[in-house]
Structure 1
Amino acid sequence: MPDEATATLRRDLQALRTLVLRAGSGDTGTALAHVRNRLLGYRDEENLPPAPAAVQDVFRGIGEAARSVLGLRIALDGPQDESDDTPATARSREELDAEDAAIDSAEEPSEEEEKGLRRPTTRAAVQVAVGSALAIVGGELLSTQRWYWAVLTCWIVFLNTSSTGEILVKGYRRLLGTVFGVVAGIVLAGLVGQHTVTAFALVLVLIFAMFYVAPLSYTLMSFFVTAMLGLLYTLLHTYSLDVLLLRVEETALGAACGVVAAALVLPVRTDRRTNELLGTVLERLADVTEAAVGQLSGGPADELLDKARDLDQALADLRAATQPLTHPVTPLRARRHTARYVVALLETCAYHARTLAATAELLPTHPSIAADPRLRGAAGRTVRNIETIAARVEDEHAAARVETGPSIASLLGSDAGTPRYGRITDRVLRHLERLDEAVVGLARPLGVPVAEPRA
């Protein structure tokens, strides 16, 4: 290491120590500002002294440490005198201000966030507490040793559910899986009960199947859990038909306690939950469509992939929330068909919106896809229709109507001497038109009036 670089490094480390010791002291002398400016300058490559690469890394570290000290000083002493700032110091201040703004925006509570008993987590906690109390009392009456099965079922039916209908469906699926699991447990215990190795191997197989099907079917998971318990009791020489039947009774009791608590204590109707999620899906759909069309029209690049992921997540939440309405055993057949039709149309809309977003992402590199400014105006009707439907879902008294009219292709018009291909591909037009048709199709099942086409 050259002697000059060593001396400079020692001097600057001592200067950094001084900055740290003076932080929060209120000292705003000019000499201290010059020391700070010199150390912050090491964040720029051109200010690094000639030295080996490893030593230059140390100088860079000193610059970053000085930036941290500057942030600490601002936090402790408040606004600083910026008259002596160098460009490097000014840039560091701007970075710290941007970080503070980002942290503040992330910590700000949403204005629409519900409070008290209307808050989802608080409401769920009260419901679970009431349901658990009922399950403990009822389970104790059924069995003083196995009462916890009812409580466990009550807890489980509340997991990842947000409405009374979802809890009802989850409780039904758990009970159905338990009933068939008891039958399977009885059969397997009779067949392999005297063969310990075989029974142990089947227990392992059932455990694997339980975790394998968990994301796919809650009913199947409950089936494999109960069948595994039948074999496990056989291995432990505690198998009894009465115990397996008691499990069915405790499961039914726990599910019933959960449903009763959800229906009577701060209930959330399935209609309210699905309407909230439907509004979210429509909002995300409008965001993706508008951003994709804007980029295809020559506008600035946007976070299209993130917006598309948000749309997919909102649609998945809606699909889960409509399960009580689309379940085969629901007695409301008309609502079941309507819910399935609406979800299917939304999935169609999401597919075309995702494709538009993916096409827009290819715009800078794909030779056959070029920006066309005419797209923004032609696709504006589709975005307005989505917003109209969302407003009607939020307020059923909204008077807006869904617009209809000529196809997207005819709205583009034509430029003399300019072929359509090369400015916008047929693929983009096809997806825009299908999206527009699907959005208009949403109006009828959701009760949104459709305006007559203009002559």
Structure 2
Amino acid sequence: MRGGAGVRGDVRDGREHGGVKAAGRSVRTRSRDRLAASDPGLLRLTSGLRTVGAIALTLAVLAPLGLDITHLVTGAMAAMAATFSVREKQRAAQAVTLAVGLPVALVSVSLGAVLGERVVVGDAFFVVLIFCAVYGRRFGDRGFTLGLIGFQFYFVALFVGASAARLPGVWAVLAVAFACSAAVRFVLLPVTPAGLLARLREAFRARLARLVSAQLALLDAGPDEVDGALEDVRTGTARLHETALMIQTRLEEGTPDEPTARLVQRRIADAEIAAERLGLLLLSARSTERADTLTLHLPGAPAPEVGRLPGPEEATALLRRDLLALRALVLRTGAPGTAVAHVRNRLLGYRDEENLPSAAPAVRDVFRGVGEAARAVMGLRIALDGPQDESDDTPATARSREELDAEDAAIDAGEEAERADRPTGLRRPTTRAAVQVAVGSALAIAGGELLSTDRWYWAVLTCWIVFINTASTGEILVKGYRRLLGTVFGVVVGIVLAALVGRHTWTSFALVLVLIFAMFYTAPLSYTLMSFFVTAMLGLLYTLLHTYSWEVLVLRVEETALGAACGVVAAALVLPVNTDRRTNELLGTVLERLAEVTGAAVGQLSGGPADDLLDKARELDQALGDLRSATQPLTHPVTPLRARRTTARYVVALLETCAYHARSLAATAELLPSHPSIAADPRLDGAAGRTVRNIGTIAARVADGEVTGAVETGPSIASSLGGSDGDGRYGRITGRVLRHLERLDEAVVGLARPLGVPVAPPER
């Protein structure tokens, strides 16, 4: 096998294969991959362009009609609200929601115009409207959208000062805005579920390539660079997992049938697990001692002490070449040609022991990991693009292809059972949130009118917004703080922009469009940035409406602070859900899902009946994502409770480690019907039963602090199997399964300590 020169040869072969045309595509392809990796599915770009396009088209239709500036601003705000409110994934459902949303908007803006001057009646109705709008979330995406439209258009009526006499003109403007929003959504910038899923798969491929690049940098990092390189690997792993979750949530709508959806889900999971495992093997090979999986999941965790890769230098050069080749294979997944086939065949050869280079055992493990990653990439290509040209297959490639075909045939489209245990009454999240928002809004109205009888609705808007997508007092506090911070900085920029544009109407509108695009593009990344762009945009709108002044923007900050405070007070005093309670509930759910995945995977590996492991693993990932979001108040940089922040980060990292090993066990268990190197072993059920029991013990302690059970410890799972031959590649239980089980057992025991669960000493 070639050494370092092989790297240059492979790269040269790949370039010469495409010739001048490939060279001409390189810059465009890199830019596309960079965009796909930074914005998976182009969701943020599409959201920003759609909103800006709807506003621009609305202004283009209304401007020639000679309408005054108030009607133009009304049309712009209506187009924005009609565009961002729709949440359904299917185009037909979106069309129905827009059609129903127009009469809701007309009624809401009419009531706002009529009741706006009647202080008591108008304020009371606004509180009732807010309650109904939030309560409507229980009826799904359409209920959420119609409630949001009702609230937003009542707010628009207050903002532009609509009156009963001007309602006919306002109605016409709203009709134009909704029509323009529909035209942009369905004609100018259409997005189909299948097209969105295809872009998300492109993003997964781009992020997978970036993760391999980060692993390559980790291979070459010196002692002073390894912490930074490890952080890049950790970030790349997290982003790859984020994209996999985004794909899972859109498989049902974006694929023609359920078997196809399950096949794509399976191949995405395989690729994610293979990439994460490759990073861990590489870190272990460079470490003077075994690297812990936790190192890949705990932010800021120091890298283990590293040195040069053990073994001959030729093996290091060969590994560097093969990581470059793996990255090229990922980037050229859909490209035909002998160069790609050559790279694929060579990497798949590492799945056979006789093709591994002479090197230290840890380095040989890395080469095996490269082979498994190449197999996952090939499986992903087959699942997404269909049957491939097999004329250049080597025996190793043909065997991998046969394994994949057998696995695909074994996939069963099972039905997912509905969970019947759902809260009711005031325990239902939507009902509780509706009551909290109504109380907070009433406080915001009362306080806001003391600050200003004309701009009091800003306090109500802030109170409303801080409750969206939050579920605990801590989350509301963090969101309110971020909104206030963004508003303060936005006021400063708004003053500068208003002074620059003066009374230049169309220059102001152009800047408004730029700020709106920035608002929607940054919203998923930073709530503070979004609030900053919103406030800067409002400064320009006030300029357009000839109501701009320094006092107005300062009042905006005061009303924002008041609204956030009212939201926190309502959340803390009315049907409160404190952060500890919320995180404990979600932690219990994660542990329950972890026990289900682990128990089902071990049962199947022990010879039990097949289970729906893919769906169980997906539920575990979703529960862990919810917990990660709920712990943000505890892990926020400004939190004064440093010890709790460290504990929360450590617990989440341990759970991510457990989830990784559980997903890997589930993926291995699903290979049983088709993979010749894995067979069921009844001994596993008893050996791994301790781990499942420990997860249940921790979950019981989290649910009820009075539970006194202890976590069990004892001999390793491998030793309890009684001399298993699992260390060999074709043993009854592969070494990989044993490693995952043992690492999972260690992580669960480690989880007991920060959660206050006693650990029993091993029995003699």
Match of 2:621 in 1: 312
**One-letter amino acid matched to 2:671:** L
1:416 Cα deviation from its structure 2 partner: 8.3
What's the CA shift string for 1:276-299, capped at 9, x where partnerless?
111111000000111111122222
- Does the aligned pair in 2 maintain the 1:193–1:231 contact within 8 Å? no
Amino acid at match of 1:133: A
Q: Is 1:321 paired with 2:630?
A: yes
Report the equivalent of 1:284.
593
SS in 2 for 1:169: helix
Normalised TM-score (structure 2): 0.44
* Match of residue 240, structure 1, among 526, 542, 549: 549
Q: What letter matches 1:342 in structure 2? A: V
Letter in 1 for 2:578: R
Aligned to 1:357: 666
Q: Give the structure 2 partner of residue 330 of structure 1.
A: 639
Task: Say which of 678, 681, 684 aligns to 1:369.
Answer: 678
Superposed, which structure 2 residues align to 1:151-162 within 5 Å?
A: 151-162=460-471
**Partner in structure 2 of residue 444 of structure 1:** 753
Deviation at 1:129, TM superposition (A): 1.4
Structure 1 length normalisation: TM-score? Answer: 0.72
Q: CA deviation at 1:420?
A: 6.9
Matched, 1:205 2:509: no
Picking from 120, 134, 137, the partner of 2:443 is 134
| Closer/same/farther in 2, CA of residues 297 and 416 from structure 1, 3 Å limit | closer
Matches within 5 A, 1:15-414: 110=421, 113-193=422-502, 198-414=507-723
Q: Residue 118 of structure 1: CA displacement?
A: 3.8
Question: Which one-letter code corresponds to 2:446 in the other structure?
Answer: V
Q: Relative to structure 2, which stretch is displaced further, 192-201 or 333-342?
A: 192-201
Partners of 1:361 and 1:190 lie apart in 2 by: 65
Give me the whole-angstrom Cα distance separating, in 2, the residues matched to 1:202 and 1:298: 65
> 1:109 Cα deviation (Å)?
5.8
Selected match of 2:737 from 399, 404, 428: 428
Q: Is the 8 A contact 2:726 2:738 kept in 1?
A: no
**What secondary structure does 1:166 align onto?**
helix
2:551 and 2:763 mapped to 1: Cα distance? 73
Q: Which runs of 5+ in 1 are unaligned?
A: 1-101
Give, as a single letter, the amino acid of the residue that structure 2 aligns with 1:166. Answer: E
The answer as to whether partners of 1:134 and 1:257 remain within 8 angstroms in 2 is: yes
How far is the alpha carbon of 1:418 from its aligned partner?
A: 11
**Matched-pair contact (CA < 8 Å) for 1:356–1:431:** yes
Q: Write out the 4+ residue segments of structure 1 that deviate beyond 6 Å after TM superposition.
A: none
Displacement, 1:386? 0.3
Q: Measure, in 1, the Cα distance between the counterparts of 2:628 and 2:641.
A: 17
- Counterpart CA distance in 1 for 2:482 and 2:430 is 24
CA distance in 1, matches of 2:727, 2:584: 46
Cα distance, 1:310 vs structure 2:
0.8
Give the deviation of 1:384 after TM superposition. Answer: 0.7
Deviation for aligned residue 1:308: 0.8
1:135–1:253 contact (8 Å) kept in structure 2: yes
Distance 1:142 1:449, change over 3 A: same
For residues 418 and 175 of structure 1, what CA distance do their matches in structure 2 show? 58
Aligned-residue CA RMSD (Å): 2.3
Q: Which has the larger radius of gyration?
A: 1
1:155-181 CA-to-partner distances (Å, cap 9, x unmatched) read: 111112221111111111111111111
Q: Distance in 1 between matches of 2:500 and 2:727?
A: 78
Q: CA deviation at 1:220?
A: 1.4
Gaps of 5+ in 2: 1-414
Amino acid in structure 1 at the alignment position of 2:534: V
After superposing the two structures, state which structure 1 stretch, 406-415 or 267-276, moved more.
406-415
* Counterpart residue identity of residue 384, structure 1: R
Q: Which amino acid aligns with 1:294?
A: G
**Cα distance in 2 between the residues matched to 1:167 and 1:423:** 52
Q: 1:109 to 1:422 in 2, by over 3 A?
A: closer
Q: Distance in 2 between matches of 1:214 and 1:387?
A: 38
Shift of 1:236: 4.2
Report deviation, 1:407.
1.5
Letter in 1 for 2:661: H
Secondary structure of 2:708's counterpart equals coil
Counterpart AA for 2:754: P
SS for the counterpart of 1:380 is helix
Q: Which amino acid aligns with 2:573?
A: L
Give the 3 Å change call, closer, same or farther, for CA 186–362 of structure 1 in structure 2.
farther
Deviation at 1:422, TM superposition (A): 3.0
